[in-house]
Copies of this chain bind each other. A is one copy, B any other.
């Protein structure tokens, strides 16, 4: 596939040059560009390795693997950003990941698929499960600490965040148990008669090797990337918010963008929605709370308190997506709607 070749070029050009540049102290501008290229390429490999491993492991363990490694890149970048004390960028990139997946990825998928097909369907059961979790994560678990923290001291705010983080992770695991064990089979669209058995791209051993290797390299490149952020702010006048919400979010989720849109054009809207919304839920219910807990061992702790623009953008995005996807159908105009909402928010964060 063309995309896979592109990812290969990205890795074999990006990574070596990042290494060389790190030793020779190349200008930050060039390093930023090289790191982005490298990470996009590497996340392509991580995605394919996870998928192959998921197929050979059967649906349950596979679902678990996808749910854990799906946002590995994002998690790694964030941990290094946290280590550098840039809590604001971490929260912004979580926001960006939520907005990017909900509005950009899903929007472009609906649009690209809708150009080719008049209506595309996906499971209503899945849509409902997702929308319940979206409201729980974004509207309850993110809004409550924001509002309550207005009349709390920082220590109490952190304690509330820790409590919420533990509950979010517990529910995320409970949700996997629900989806993969007690209510398996409920979540498939009735329209698809039967899908041919999938063949893994790589063997089990090769997949694990690539997964481990790519993860280690991503970690290294991420650390280099983080060091370029200050320059971006100084040079372009970009705020922490814009860097996090737009730049980090797009780079960290590039591989998902590609596969979601590819699936939509093949009329596998089920899979597209699963990638976009599933990835959002992973960020909100797994990556974000893990980062809150990880931050306890870092120089600066991170409470689950976003800025108001970040929070309001996520809440309105969630409401829009829930409304648009609740009927289990999509068309090009709904895609355009989501995309337009992303552009509005992008302008907002740029000007902020």
Chain A residues at the B interface, C-beta cutoff of 8 Å: 118, 128-129, 131-133, 135-136, 139-141, 143-145, 147-148, 150-152, 156, 159-160, 163-164, 167, 170-171, 174-175, 178, 182-183, 308-309, 312-313, 316-317, 319-320, 322-324, 327, 331-334, 336-337, 340-341, 343-345, 347-348, 351-352
Rounded to whole angstroms, the CA-CA distance of A269 and B191 in the bound complex is 29
Is the CB–CB distance between B348 and A135 below 8 Å?
no
Query: Chain B residue with minimal CB distance to A139?
Result: B316
Rounded to whole angstroms, the CA-CA distance of A174 and B175 in the bound complex is 38
Q: What residues on B are CB-neighbors of A323 within 8 Å?
A: 131-132, 135, 322
Dominant secondary structure of chain A at its interface with chain B:
helix
Q: What residues on B are CB-neighbors of A174 within 8 Å?
A: 333, 336
Is the CB–CB distance between A319 and B148 below 8 Å?
no
Rounded to whole angstroms, the CA-CA distance of A129 and B317 in the bound complex is 17
Query: Chain B residue with minimal CB distance to A323?
Result: B135
Interchain nearest-CB distance for A126 vs B (Å): 12
Interchain nearest-CB distance for A135 vs B (Å): 5
Q: What residues on B are CB-neighbors of A136 within 8 Å?
A: 320, 337, 340-341
| A–B pairs, 13, beta carbons within 8 Å | A132-B334, A135-B320, A136-B337, A141-B344, A144-B312, A148-B352, A151-B309, A159-B351, A167-B340, A170-B340, A171-B336, A171-B340, A178-B333
Q: What residues on B are CB-neighbors of A148 within 8 Å?
A: 309, 348, 351-352
Q: What residues on B are CB-neighbors of A331 within 8 Å?
A: 178, 183
Q: What residues on B are CB-neighbors of A160 within 8 Å?
A: 347-348, 351
Copy tally for this chain in the complex stands at 3
Q: What residues on B are CB-neighbors of A175 within 8 Å?
A: 333
Is the CB–CB distance between A132 and B337 below 8 Å?
yes
Rounded to whole angstroms, the CA-CA distance of A133 and B118 in the bound complex is 19
Rounded to whole angstroms, the CA-CA distance of A241 and B163 in the bound complex is 19
Given contacts A131-B323, A148-B309, A167-B343, 19 further A-B pairs with CB under 8 A are: A118-B182, A132-B320, A132-B323, A132-B334, A135-B319, A135-B323, A139-B319, A144-B312, A144-B316, A144-B344, A147-B312, A148-B351, A148-B352, A159-B351, A167-B344, A170-B340, A174-B336, A178-B332, A182-B333
Rounded to whole angstroms, the CA-CA distance of A221 and B313 in the bound complex is 42
Given the interface contacts A308-B147, A348-B148, does A337 sit within 8 Å of B133 by beta carbon?
yes
Q: What residues on B are CB-neighbors of A182 within 8 Å?
A: 118, 332-333
Pick the residue among B140, B167, B308 that contacts A316 (CB under 8 A): B140
Interchain nearest-CB distance for A349 vs B (Å): 8
Rounded to whole angstroms, the CA-CA distance of A341 and B182 in the bound complex is 22
Is the CB–CB distance between B178 and A132 below 8 Å?
no
Rounded to whole angstroms, the CA-CA distance of A171 and B163 in the bound complex is 39
Rounded to whole angstroms, the CA-CA distance of A159 and B350 in the bound complex is 11
Is the CB–CB distance between B128 and A327 below 8 Å?
yes
Is the CB–CB distance between B140 and A320 below 8 Å?
yes
Q: What residues on B are CB-neighbors of A164 within 8 Å?
A: 344, 347
